[in-house]
Amino acid sequence: MQTDYQQNGYSLKRQFFTDHELDVVEPILRRFHSAWIEQNRDHYNHQAINSAYITHADALSTPDRQKLFNFIAMDKLVSVARDIIIMGPAFMNTQLFFNPKNSEQKNYWHRDIQYRPDSVAKQQELLKLKTILHFRVPLANEPGIELVPGTHLHWDNAQEFETRMGESGRKPSDDLPSGKALALNRGDLLVFSANMIHRGLYGHNRFALDIIYSDADPELLEFVDPKCLPEPNMLKKIAHPDVFTATQQALNLP
Ligand SMILES: O=C(O)CCC(=O)C(=O)O
């Protein structure tokens, strides 16, 4: 029998995290966010909806990084990642998603692979070969994510493609009849393929951590900043250090 993920490209697990688990990391993420806004004021004021590289050695104190790494590689989360990436997931990055400052700003349908410098033919080929997963961890209730089920494996129909590309009079924010909106609550976990057609739904006080895991593939991991990975003494305290060492090995890092 196919799993939810295999069939639809996503898996939604309600009340996956305890309050305590979230309470440990939320203050760290909020501190990061305040500092990030200070350093990126112009971008934040004009269009930002996310930040990244939260685990960078220059971004957090050592105890805060350790707590965040412990969260990212906790047993039950890595177990979900392993069920999907059977060969073993590799840590790619982290992102924080928040509302645009301008409440009129529109969201946009996309596949993450469309931002790579690959032809459409190559993107279609990559779809079936490479897995990148977003683990969305909402810290507050949010309108969530809208996605087009099954598009982790199949290409767009004409309307989906024109919308995503903003062609033939369509805008990337136009509704798609094939879209499925998944409202999320604090405590839920949504795992979805970065390859599939999706868009963020802005509103409420959204503040979500996305943990990104992928195949241990150097091509996918090429933009990993080594300073976002745990140092050897931190690895020893993590439940599943292999998700980080997989990244180091794929990139031939010391
Ligand atoms: O939540 C959003 O604004 C977009 C999310 C997204 O595109 C992603 O996680 O790849």
Per-residue pLDDT of 8-53, as tens digits, reads 999 999 999 999 999 999 999 999 999 999 999 999 999 999 999 9
Calculate how far, in angstroms, residue 114's C-alpha sits from the geometric centre of ligand 1. Answer: 13
Q: What is the DSSP letter of 168?
A: T
Q: What is the pLDDT averaged over residues 148-170?
A: 97
35/118 Cα distance (integer angstroms): 34
> Measured between alpha carbons, how far is residue 160 from residues 24, 30, 143, 171, 198 in Å?
40, 35, 21, 10, 10
pLDDT at 105: 97
Q: Is the CB of 135 under 6 A from ligand 1?
A: no
209: closest CA among 225, 227, 187, 226? 187
pLDDT at 34: 98
pLDDT-derived band at 254 (thresholds 50, 70, 90) equals confident
To test the pocket of ligand 1, the residue of 199, 201, 205 to mutate (highest count of ligand atoms within 8 Å of its CB) is 199
Please state the pTM of the whole predicted model.
0.97
C-alpha angle 121-127-128 in degrees, rounded to nearest 5: 115
Q: Is the CB of 144 under 6 A from ligand 1?
A: no
Atom of ligand 1 nearest to the CA of 112: 10
The highest-level CATH class for domain 7-250 is mainly beta
pLDDT digits (tens, 9 = 90+) for 70-122: 999 999 999 999 999 999 999 999 999 999 999 999 999 999 999 988 999 99
Q: Is the CB of 134 under 6 A from ligand 1?
A: yes
pLDDT at 65: 98
With a cut of 80, say whether residue 132 has pLDDT above it.
yes
Whose tokens are 């459409």? That residue is 120
pLDDT at 142: 98
pLDDT at 148: 98
To test the pocket of ligand 1, the residue of 190, 198, 209, 214 to mutate (highest count of ligand atoms within 8 Å of its CB) is 198
pLDDT at 1: 65
pLDDT at 51: 98
Q: Is the CB of 250 under 6 A from ligand 1?
A: no
Percentage of residues in the chain having pLDDT higher than 90: 97
Q: What is the pLDDT averaged over residues 123-141?
A: 96
31: left (phi over 0), alpha (psi -120 to 50) or beta: alpha
pLDDT at 2: 74
pLDDT at 96: 98
Residue nearest to ligand 1 atom 10, measured at CA? 194
pLDDT at 116: 87
Atom of ligand 1 nearest to the CA of 110: 7
Average pLDDT over the chain, rounded to whole? 97
To test the pocket of ligand 1, the residue of 145, 164, 189, 196 to mutate (highest count of ligand atoms within 8 Å of its CB) is 145
Q: Are strands 142-147 and 198-201 parallel, antiparallel or unpaired?
A: antiparallel
